[in-house]
Amino acid sequence: MKQSKLDNSTRITIGVSSCLLGENVRFDGGHKKNQYLLNTLTEYFHFHAFCPEVSIGLGIPREPIRLVEQNDEIKCVGTKDETLDVTHRLEQVADEQVSWQESISGYILKKDSPSCGMERVKVYKGVMPERNGIGIYARKLMENFPNLPVEEEGRLNDLILRENFIQRVFVYARWQQLMSQNYSIKDIQQFHAQHKYIYMSHNQTAVKELGGLLANPFESLVTLAQEYITKAMKLLKSRATKASHTNTLQHIQGYLKKYIDADDKQELVEAITEYSNGFVPLIVPITLLRHHFRKYPNEYITQSFYMRPHPSELMLLNNI
């Protein structure tokens, strides 16, 4: 079934560095508008914009800040006036945002920023900076919400990382929805069944461990749920490869073996092989599988999100 653009009530909320939405909040009074966010993702997500530097009262325009290593500690200080140390204020402002951050399903951060950068931010020690820092606000955000899907706008230009991030956001949003209800172990097992093939396309060994976790006796359902989602979100961070998608497609194809004739089977095998060899994108074998499952529905496949991980109009499966 074709998914349509989402209305306001069903849109997933994600946090975004304000400057990426065109807000003039940067140190120089400018912005870093990101067209993909504003032209495409805005149709499917509700954005919660936040600028940590403005929130701590640094003003616009302002003296730029940067990360420096001092006495084995990373500090965020003024580029001209190193006595302007805003490290603690940035950490504090991150902690103060927890009430809205706990309901979001993802976060897109501005790369290279000493406040918002997710990775490889310049850290100055002596003359030459090293690109091994994390923005102070971003670090606190990720410590407070280790399972939250977080990505930088620059990395979203990589089509595999883009699909990976948006897939994680949708999985996490469905998990948050489940956790907001009165859930049982059966509900978590059903969530696992719905996402098993997505997990498999990332890591076949880890998906077995994850399933095993839910099959064993447990003392606390809340602890089990936390352990499950921590492992699941970690698993989903690893890149899905052509080999693991091919294996997943072959597993799914197995459900059709009693129903489709030799010609259709051959066509399916060829589509999966062409995908595996890089001649066609993932959407090609998936479209063929969807066609066969429309004719021969299977309950387990119908509930699975693997072939419909996010809205079709985002065309994310067309590019990987």
Q: Indicate which single residue of 75, 110, 202, 310 sits in contact with ligand SF4 (rule: CB under 6 A).
A: 110
Residue 97 interacts with ligand SF4 (CB under 6 A): yes or no: no
Q: How big is the CA angle at 310 (ends 305 and 316), to the nearest 5 degrees? A: 120
Please, which residue, 52 or 309, has the CB nearer to ligand SF4? 52
Q: Indicate which single residue of 14, 15, 26, 292 sits in contact with ligand SF4 (rule: CB under 6 A).
A: 26
- d(CA 292, CA 254) in angstroms, rounded, equals 12
Nearest-10 crossing angle of helices 159-179, 185-200 = 170
Please, which residue, 45 or 175, has the CB nearer to ligand SF4? 45
To the nearest whole angstrom, how small is the minimum distance from the Cβ of residue 13 to ligand SF4? 17
Considering only residues 113-132, where is the footprint of ligand SF4 by CB under 6 A? 113, 115-116
To the nearest whole angstrom, how small is the minimum distance from the Cβ of residue 60 to ligand SF4? 9
Please, which residue, 36 or 183, has the CB nearer to ligand SF4? 36
Residue 25 interacts with ligand SF4 (CB under 6 A): yes or no: yes
- d(CA 124, CA 138) in angstroms, rounded, equals 18
Q: Indicate which single residue of 12, 17, 45, 172 sits in contact with ligand SF4 (rule: CB under 6 A).
A: 17
Amino acid at 194: Q
Amino acid at 161: L
Residue 18 interacts with ligand SF4 (CB under 6 A): yes or no: yes
DSSP H helical ranges for 129-282:
136-144, 159-179, 185-200, 204-215, 221-237, 242-253, 262-276
Specify whether the CB–CB gap between 210 and 235 falls below 8 A: yes
Q: Residue 314: how many CB atoms within 10 A of its CB?
A: 19
To the nearest whole angstrom, how small is the minimum distance from the Cβ of residue 314 to ligand SF4? 24
12-17: strand order across its sheet:
45-50, 12-17, 107-109, 150-152
Q: How many residues bind ligand SF4 (CB under 6 A)?
A: 12
Contact string (CB under 6 A) for ligand SF4, positions 31-70, x = contact:
--------------------xxx-----------------
- Which residues of this chain interact with ligand SF4, rule CB under 6 A? 17-19, 25-26, 51-53, 110, 113, 115-116
